[in-house]
Amino acid sequence: MTSGIGPDVPAIERAARPLLAAGRFEEAEAMLNPYLASGSGPLALWKLLASAIRPQGRIAQTRAIQEMLVAHAPGDFAARFDLSETLLLMGEFERGWREYHYRYSLSHTTVIERKVQRPRWAGQPIPGKTLLIHDEQGFGDTFQFMRMVPWAKQRSGAQVVLQVNEQTLSLAQRNRSSEDFDEIVVRGSLPPAFDMHCEMMSLPMAMGLKLADLPGRVPYLGADPQRLEKWRQRLAGLPRPLVALVWAGRPTHFNDANRSLALAQLAPLARPGITFLSIQKGPAEAEAANPPRGMSLVSLSDEIQDFEDTAAILSIADLLISVDSSPVHLAGALGRPVWVMLPFVPDWRWLLERTDTPWYPGMRLFRQPVRGDWGSVMAAMAAELDRFAA
């Protein structure tokens, strides 16, 4: 990819990376273009260019660069993972899931890889054997891909042991049927003996998941009856409709700045006659003490002990409005109405341009028309909220 005396790549990288980190993608692109205008140039600069144009929504061009990077440096696992997310975003599941496996080759993900001394299941029948399926990433990922566990049990013909994190254990255990899995254990404990294993988010690769296979059975989770009764009593006196709100994700998430808002930005949603319920957790929940003018907001954050409480609230509320975070997937798994606020270039699972999603019936997507434009998202949602309340 290079010819003659090349540019000072380290110096260019030092200049470009701060621009990318600051979200000044157009400036980074303009700085990199002269070194790559001929169609050749150092791979490191092409990788930076892809990082500059992808947030601008030029996904096809990003893919072309990423394909070139993978072709010239197949051992660059970070490039392969970047390509996987672009392919999945474009709905190209077959190859996307294969490349997504390279997530475990990245420095920041090696810590979550399970060092299992058993082969990874590849989707084949293994009657008479025991298959361990284990979660690996965020809570939302667990809720989203839990639907595939019974599919894996049916396909494999095996005894299935599901291992999940402590926070989602109760929901998974209580919603279990004999057709879903045979045993459940909490992450960190020693599972029973098993013959093969598969990460929950490697099930799509193992089973060749296609868009046409979605959504499967929905709902596939349900709220605890005792929690439902508790929250029905708690919310009984509030005027309907009840609209649950989540405006910020986990601050430590690598893409949080792109997906999270301040509660004040939801001011256009305030409507007389609508009761908003804050189910926000984390540092942002303190914002509920000062809601936007005209917004009737009841904060439930301090009363929510776990996802069982969240599931019960979502089962009672008429609607969830949320940024891209785990309650979205919990509500979707419960079959509840959800409106999701998405950035201009969203996470791969939301695909491109659609206002619906194959993952969850009844879910609506409200996308930024340009980068950073939450105002247009609020305007669109406000108009729909008027119709919803009526």
Residue with tokens 């399970």: 114
| 114-209 and 225-389, same CATH topology | yes
Token code pair at residue 251: 């601050």
- Give the separation between CA 91 and CA 138, rounded to whole angstroms: 22
Q: How far is CA 179 from CA 151, 159, 185, 208, 299, in A?
A: 9, 10, 17, 20, 38
Task: Please state which CATH number belongs to domain 225-389.
Answer: 3.40.50.2000
The rounded radius of gyration (Å) of the Cα atoms in the chain is 23
Nearest to 168 by CA among 145, 201, 199, 193: 145
Label residues 21-59 b or e (16+ Cβ within 10 Å = b): eeeebeebbebbeebbeeeebbbebbbbbbbbbbbbebe
Sheet holding 242-246, edge to edge: 296-299, 275-278, 242-246, 319-323, 338-342, 363-367
- The 8-class DSSP code of residue 217 comes to S
Nearest to 147 by CA among 223, 220, 208: 220
Token code pair at residue 132: 């361990």
Contacts of 372 (CB under 8 A, 6+ apart): 344
pLDDT at 252: 65
Q: Report residue 159: phi and psi, to 5°.
A: -75, 125
pLDDT at 1: 46
pLDDT at 315: 98
Q: How many CB atoms lie within 10 A of CB 275?
A: 20
Contacts of 125 (CB under 8 A, 6+ apart): 155, 156, 157
pLDDT at 254: 64
Q: Are 321 and 341 in contact (CB under 8 A)?
A: yes
25: amino acid identity, one letter: F
- Give the separation between CA 204 and CA 213, rounded to whole angstroms: 10
pLDDT at 188: 87
Instruction: Return the CATH class of domain 114-209.
Output: alpha beta
Q: Are 169 and 183 in contact (CB under 8 A)?
A: no
pLDDT at 110: 55
Token code pair at residue 357: 């999603």
Mean pLDDT of successive 10-residue stretches along the chain, which has 390 residues: 68 96 96 94 96 98 98 94 97 96 73 72 98 92 96 97 95 87 93 95 96 95 97 96 94 72 97 96 95 97 97 98 97 98 97 97 96 97 93
Q: Report residue 129: phi and psi, to 5°.
A: -100, 170
Nearest 5°: the CA angle 21, 26, 27 is 70
Q: What are residue 278's DSSP bridge partners? A: 245, 299
DSSP 91-112: T-HHHHHHHHGGGGGSTTTGGG
Domain ranges of the chain: 9-111, 114-209, 225-389
Q: Are 193 and 116 in contact (CB under 8 A)?
A: no
Task: Please state which CATH number belongs to domain 9-111.
Answer: 1.25.40.10
Burial class (CB in 10 A: 0-12, 13-18, 19+), 140: buried
Nearest to 179 by CA among 222, 150, 146: 150
